[in-house]
Structure 1
Amino acid sequence: MDSEESRVVVPRNFRLLEELERGEKGIGDGTVSYGMDDADDIYMCSWTGTIIGPQNTVHEGRIYQLKLFCDKDYPEKPPAVRFQTRINMTCVNQETGMVEPGLFPMLANWQREYTMEDILLTLKKEMSAPQNRKLHQPPEGSDDQRMEQKDLAQRCAIL
C-alpha cells in the first residue's frame, strides 16, 4: 500500500483540540504560550499567544501578545497572525501588526503538520535573527490600540 493512501488526516477540530491540550500544558522553557481566546468559541477560531523576548536581543524581558485566527481551512492553510503588542520586526506590518506571509517563510511555505506552537517558536527565533535582534523597539507597554481586523473575526462567524 502506498504511504499516501495510508496517511490519516486528522479532522480540523480534533487537531485544534490536540493543540489546545498541548498549549495548556506549557511549552518548553515557558517563554512561549498559547490558548483559546474565548472558551465558548465552539469553532476554535480565535487564539492568543505570548512570547517572552529572547535574551541578548532588544526584545529581552519584553512580553509580546499575539492573536491567531484559524479559519475553516486550518490546518490546510495557516492561521492569520497579528501582534497585539507593538513590535519592530522585518516580517511584521507596522500599521496592522500582521505577520506578513510573504516575509515570514513558515507562513509562506505552510505545511499541514505545522502548528501554532511552531509559529510562536519560529517568531521567537526570528526575534534573535541578525536583521531583528537590534531593531529599535516601541516603548514598553505600547500595546496595540488598532482596531481588530473585522474580516478575520467575520470569517470565524461564517463557519
Structure 2
Amino acid sequence: MSAVVPRSFRLLEELENGEKGRGAEACSYGLANGDDVTMTNWNGTILGPPHSVHENRIYSVNIKCGENYPDSPPTINFVSKVNLPCVDPRNGKVDLTKLPRLTVWKREFTMETILLEIRRQAI
C-alpha cells in the first residue's frame, strides 16, 4: 500500500519539474504568480506540433488546480481562440472528457500529462 502524497507536495514537485524543464519540450507550465502560496493558478504553453496546421504556434493556457487536485482534475482555459475538438469555442475551456486518454481522471495524471494530450489533438 502506498502513501497518498498531499496536494501541496504534489504541486511543489510539479512546479520544480516545470521550472527546471524536466518534462517534455513540447509544453511548459509554472505558477501564474510566484506569491501564490496555495499554488492554485498556473500558466501553461503548448507548442504546435510539426507538420500540422498548428506548427510554429505557441498556445497559452490558464490552469486552475482546485483544493481537491490531484484527486480532481484542474480546469484549463485557452487564452486565445483555438479550434480543437476538446475546446469549447465560446470560452476556451478544455473538456478533458474529450481527450481519449483522460476520459477517466487518475490521481497520477499531471498538468504535463494534460498539456501533452491537448497537443496530441492538434496533430
Match for residue 89 of structure 1? Answer: 84
Match for residue 52 of structure 2? Answer: 57
Give 1 or 2: higher strand fraction.
Answer: 2
CA RMSD of aligned residues (A): 1.1
Q: Distance in 2 between matches of 1:33 and 1:49?
A: 6
Given that 2:86 and 2:98 are in contact with CA atoms closer than 8 Å, whether structure 1 keeps it comes out as yes
From 65, 70, 78, give the equivalent of 1:70: 65
User: Gaps spanning 5+ residues in structure 1: where?
Assistant: 1-5, 129-159
Match for residue 142 of structure 1? Answer: none
Q: Distance in 1 between matches of 2:13 and 2:121?
A: 25
Q: Distance in 2 between matches of 1:78 and 1:106?
A: 13
Task: Give 1:85 shift.
Answer: 1.9
Q: Which amino acid aligns with 1:42?
A: V
From 108, 131, 137, give the equivalent of 2:103: 108
From 3, 25, 38, give the equivalent of 1:8: 3
Task: Give 1:67 shift.
Answer: 0.7
May I ask how many residue pairs the two structures share in their alignment? Answer: 122
From 108, 120, 126, give the equivalent of 2:121: 126
From 28, 36, 60, give the equivalent of 1:33: 28
Report the secondary structure of 1:67's partner residue.
strand
User: Gaps spanning 5+ residues in structure 2: where?
Assistant: none
Q: Distance in 1 between matches of 2:101 and 2:79?
A: 20
Give 1 or 2: higher helix fraction.
Answer: 1
Where in structure 2 are the equivalents of 1:9-24 lying within 5 Å?
9-24=4-19
